[in-house]
Amino acid sequence: MNEHTVKAFDADIGELRGLISQMGGLAEEQIGKAMLALQRGDRALATQVRAEDKAIDAIEAEVERLAVRIIALRAPLANDLREVVAALKIASVLERIGDYAKNIAKRVPLIDDTGDRIEPISVLPAMGRMASEMVHDALDAFAARDSDAAVRVCESDTALDDFYDSIFRTLVTFMVENPRTISQVAHLLFVAKNLERIGDHAGNVAEMVYFAATGTQIADRLPAKS
């Protein structure tokens, strides 16, 4: 795309995009650390994840300030306007993703306190990687303004949903077979649900990327979900 005649406009948009990428990188990192903490029962790392969530919140506030400033001072139109609106929405979605990572971290000591770790805990990191990859791919699509890549992110959500369904069934089986695992399983169900929600939110980011790039809604392009 050509540069703006007013160079400061490009600088503002560049700064906004930089903040989103930074925020996305942090969110991704938080998911990874939360899952690692869970896997190892690492309480110190879990505490760190909970503390670092504040950094994501701070960038979200900065995105809001910058977006409002751009709208007020530059009166963006067409793709510029869509990009600023998308950045605002993406920032709030990334903040939610950070919250889910924080929530997983919060459960690490609680799970640890429930006693012996049950087997399904070992498959959750794989689900975590899948969710984290969706966030990563959505942000790559944002960086490249790539609507096709955004569509692929939305489509990949089905695999994560299937993963969740399978973990859900496994965990329910554990509860039925051994009621003493119930409190640990309940936490793990929430962890799995959080990861599933992160995938949905990565899909929301992809939807905004698609909208910013094309000016149309991605729903018009994806096959309707049954």
Partner 1 sequence: MSNHPPKITATHVNVWYGAKKAIDDVSIDIDQDSVTALIGPSGCGKSTFLRTLNRMNDTVANARVQGDIRLDGEDIYSPDMDVVQLRARVGMVFQKPNPFPKSIYENVAYGPRIHGLASSRSELEGIVQTSLKRAGLWEEVKDRLSDSGTALSGGQQQRLCIARAIAVDPEVILMDEPCSALDPIATAKIEELIHALKGRYAIAIVTHNMQQAARVSQRTAFFHLGQLVEYGATTEIFTNPREERTRDYITGRYG
Q: Is 118 helix (H, G, I), strand (E, B) or coil?
A: coil
144 and 208 Cβ atoms separated by less than 8 Å: no
Q: Report the nearest approach of partner 1 to the CB of residue 72 (Å).
A: 12
Taking phi over 0 as left and psi of -120 to 50 as alpha, with beta for the rest, 36 belongs to alpha
Cβ-Cβ contacts under 8 Å for 177 (sequence gap 6 or more): none
Q: Report the nearest approach of partner 1 to the CB of residue 150 (Å).
A: 16
If one asks whether residue 217 binds partner 1 (CB under 8 A), the answer comes out as: no
Looking at beta carbons only, is 68 or 75 nearer to partner 1? 75
Phi, psi dihedral angles at 221 (to 5 degrees): -110, -30
If one asks whether residue 9 binds partner 1 (CB under 8 A), the answer comes out as: yes
Q: Which of 51, 58, 73, 75 binds partner 1 (CB under 8 A)?
A: 75
Q: Report the nearest approach of partner 1 to the CB of residue 4 (Å).
A: 5
If one asks whether residue 5 binds partner 1 (CB under 8 A), the answer comes out as: yes
If one asks whether residue 71 binds partner 1 (CB under 8 A), the answer comes out as: no
56 and 30 Cβ atoms separated by less than 8 Å: yes
Distance between CA atoms of residues 97 and 138, nearest Å: 13
219 and 170 Cβ atoms separated by less than 8 Å: no
If one asks whether residue 72 binds partner 1 (CB under 8 A), the answer comes out as: no
Looking at beta carbons only, is 47 or 79 nearer to partner 1? 79
- Which stretches of the chain bind partner 1, using CB under 8 A? 1-6, 9, 75-82, 215-216
